[in-house]
Structure formats: structure tokens, C-alpha cells
Amino acid sequence: MHFVVLFILVLAVIFGPQLWARRTFAKYSVEQSNMRGTGGELASHLIDHFELADVVVEETEHGDHYDPAAKAVRLSADNFHGKSLTAVAVAAHEVGHAIQDKEGNSLLENRTKWIQFAQITDKMGSIAILVMPILTLISKSPAVAGLMITIAVGSMLVATIVHFITLPVELDASFKKALPILKEGEYIEPKDEKAVNAILKAAAYTYVAASLASILSLARWIAVLRR
């Protein structure tokens, strides 16, 4: 009985934030007629307002994000075309990252470097998993399989760490950039501030939620490695 309760608590800790973030985004994705424009239009307007001349706004199928290498604010279709609180809040959040980039924010720069490192280790981990059966068969050595699993686990660990260290960057984009912009520019009404605050919090903690979910996969591989 105690094991079941503990298991449920662990699942709640790991998947709870992710489910909460998704629910928050969905809850405030309802179209609002009083919105001045779509998320994409707001992003373009803010880019002009803050003189981010080299930054573009693009629609993407790979999740809302800011790409510092391409200088691109990328929004999902719903947020690019939507006139909802979620659309404008997420758009402002991603433009917040573009503003950080212009200011030379050291936290954003460090995150970018870590993400690039994580992309390299992720490829190494994927290759290790693919070649492990072949190398193990050729060498007939359990040590080779152990080495490949270690590389794969290491790549997952790096990805998990990267998600966690992005939190200060995300909080800054949400509450020192996006929220003041939306309030001072009167892009949202006072009655919507509480909802926008929740959306921006969800946007900031999305990476942490993903990191917690990835811990489960990491734990499985560590268990395999210990056998």
C-alpha cells in the first residue's frame, strides 16, 4: 500500500507540472474579440517597438521558442494566428528572449551554449543505442554494451540538467520582460492580469516540466546499467 502511494506521488511530481502547464495554456486559448491582434502580430509589433531589426517572426510545428542563432521568434500555429490570452502571453514571452539576446544576457548565452552541447550529446546517445547491438555482437563483450548505455544515459543526464538551468532565463523572459510589456503597453486588460500571470508562469516552467518527465526515462536506463 505504501509503495502504491509513493509511486503515485512520484508520478504526480514528475508529470504534474507538465499537465498543469498544458491545462493552463489550453484554458486561456479561447479566442477573445477584444484582442488587438494575433500572437504573431503582437510579436512583430514588439520587435519593431524594441528595435530588434534582425529578428523575424515565424510559424513553427516544433513548439514556441526563440532561436538566437537564426534570430527568430517561432510560434505554434495556434499562438501565431490566435487572438487569445495564451497567444499574446506566449508571443510576449518569446520576444522577451529576443530582448535578452539584444541585451547580451549572460544567462541566455550560457543556456545557448548548453543547448548546443546537449544537441551534440543527444546525437552521441542516439548513435550509441543504434550501434550497441552490432558492437556487442562483434566484440562479444558485455563491457561494450555497458559503455554504450553509459553514453546514452550521459546524454539524457545532460539534457535534464539543461532543462533545469534554463529556469532563470525563462523566469526573466516571463516576469521581467513579457509581463511588464503587456501591462504597461495595455495589451491586456487589468481583469486578465491574473490569467496572464498564470500563462507566463506555465511558459517559464515548461522546460522544468519536460526535465522532470525525462527523469523517468533516465531512471530506467540507470536501472538497466546497474544490472
Catalytic residues: 94
CA distance linking residue 61 with residue 51, whole number of Å = 27
Residues whose CB falls within 8 Å of the CB of residue 14, separated by 6 or more in sequence, listed in order: 212, 213, 215, 216
In eight-state DSSP terms, residue 36 is: S
CA distance linking residue 107 with residue 145, whole number of Å = 37
Residue 71 backbone phi and psi in degrees, to 5: 55, 55
In sign, the C-alpha dihedral spanning 31, 183, 187, 75 is negative
